[in-house]
Chains A and B, each alone.
Chain A
């Protein structure tokens, strides 16, 4: 037996990151900001997008790519709030979206007629943290019905995110949840995190979110 060693030293994610870089170039060339929404299942990603499409869909041309392990229920829900194509990616068991899936989904999106792209990732606070999809920013949602310590339990996701959104704020009177502790934990993991507070069911509960998006889009038009 003659064994020889071949040095490789190649990053496992290199191919994904190469495709993600290409997606980022395409989005950048079309001046389309892209936000990758990540959270545990049930934190409110789909409802946030439903409300956002209903509220801002006439003001901005919004494209959505939504990923689920099985079913295209989320895409069907979102399609009721927009006349634009909602791209459903059924991962068939995979716990995250990857850049190749986004690149393929974008082939059906007219980026020249798009102001904003949302990617709704598979509900999972672990795996999607490792995959660059070519987005401008990951936005991690966690709800007040989850533990305040989510950021320290899932630090990679909160380190990778630029924005953390605390959702279901209208439920605060009914659950033992310390907003102060949750924010402290989030900033402890990632001091640069921008923190937003949201309730998709309360009147004006998404005002801060809409302000965040409008600011990004105005900045885009100014640039």
Chain B
């Protein structure tokens, strides 16, 4: 179940990029996964949903794009700067 490790690392990268305060405005996390990356897409999506529902995240949505090859990367982050605080 290394998809959970990957999801946690995606979360760490997002937090590193946005800061612990900034991830609250995160709405979408785009991840690119190669066909030969050794990753089960459904499992990764499940794990990402779990990680992104846990503070400091506030239910950001994972979007996984399947690509040829063995790429595995955090492609982009979408943030909503107007997102109200809870």
Contacts and interface: CB of A to CB of B under 8 A. Distances in A.
Given A11-B72, A130-B38, A3 B80 contact: yes
B79 A6 contact: yes
Contacts of B81: 2, 4
Contacts, number: 82
A11 B9 CA distance: 10
Q: Which DSSP category, helix, strand, loop or mixed, fits chain B's interface?
A: mixed
**From DSSP, what is the main secondary structure of chain A's interface residues?**
mixed
Interface in A67-97: 93-96
Given A1-B83, A95-B2, A15 B9 contact: yes
Contacts of B65: none
A7 B39 CA distance: 22
Interface string A1-18: 111111111111101100
A66 B12 CA distance: 27
Category for how many chain B residues contact A: 20 to 34
B73 A9 contact: yes
A12 B2 contact: no
Contact of A13 (B1, B18, B36, B72): B72
Nearest to B82: A2
B80 A12 contact: no
A98 B37 CA distance: 16
Given A1-B80, A126-B2, A127-B1, A8 B74 contact: yes
A67 to B, nearest CB: 13
Most B C-beta atoms less than 10 A away, residue of A3, A8, A98: A8
10 contacts: A3-B27, A3-B78, A6-B78, A8-B17, A8-B75, A11-B73, A94-B5, A129-B38, A130-B37, A130-B39
Given A5-B78, A6-B77, A8-B17, 11 more contacts: A1-B82, A3-B78, A6-B79, A8-B74, A9-B75, A11-B72, A13-B72, A16-B9, A94-B2, A126-B2, A130-B37
Interface of B: 1-2, 4-6, 9-10, 12-13, 17-18, 27-28, 31, 36-39, 70-83
